[in-house]
Structure 1
């Protein structure tokens, strides 16, 4: 099993787009078959990254299939237009 964790910092003034992006991420659960579990949340603290995604996949191959799914790419494109920074970690568990 693979856990995929991504965090983002967003540009100021993009709050509406941030909400749309996170809603889009959440909508992928149950739609893209490789995505076994996911949780997208907004940071409630200050001075750190703004949002996080924690998701689970059977394998690295399944994660790659998810990343290349057109539905994920559409959501990702919105994120790329509003983010300042992104960090990610994938690990086996």
Structure 2
């Protein structure tokens, strides 16, 4: 099992787009078959990042297929237009 964690910082003034992006990520659950589980949350504290995705995949090949899926790419395109930073980690669990 692979756990994929991504965190983002967003540009100020993009709150509507942030909500649209995060909802788009949530809506991929049950649509992209390789995505076994996902959780999308907004930071409620004073942390360095604004939002986080925690997702799980059977293996690295499934994660690669998810990344290449056109539905994921469409959601990611919105993120690329509003983010100022991104950090990610993938690990076996």
Same fold (TM over 0.5): yes
Instruction: Name the residue aligned to 1:44.
Output: 44
Distance 1:47 1:41 in 2: 13
Instruction: Name the residue aligned to 1:32.
Output: 32
Report how many residues are paired: 93
Q: Secondary structure at the match of 1:46?
A: coil
Distance 1:5 1:90 in 2: 6
Q: CA RMSD in A?
A: 0.5
Q: How does 1:10-89 map to 2 (within 5 A)?
A: 10-89=10-89
- Normalised by the length of structure 2, the TM-score is 0.99
Q: Which runs of 5+ in 1 are unaligned?
A: none
Q: Which runs of 4+ in 1 moved over 2 A?
A: none
Q: Secondary structure at the match of 1:21?
A: helix
Distance 1:3 1:47 in 2: 21
- Normalised by the length of structure 1, the TM-score is 0.99
Distance 1:53 1:47 in 2: 15
1:47 positional shift:
4.1
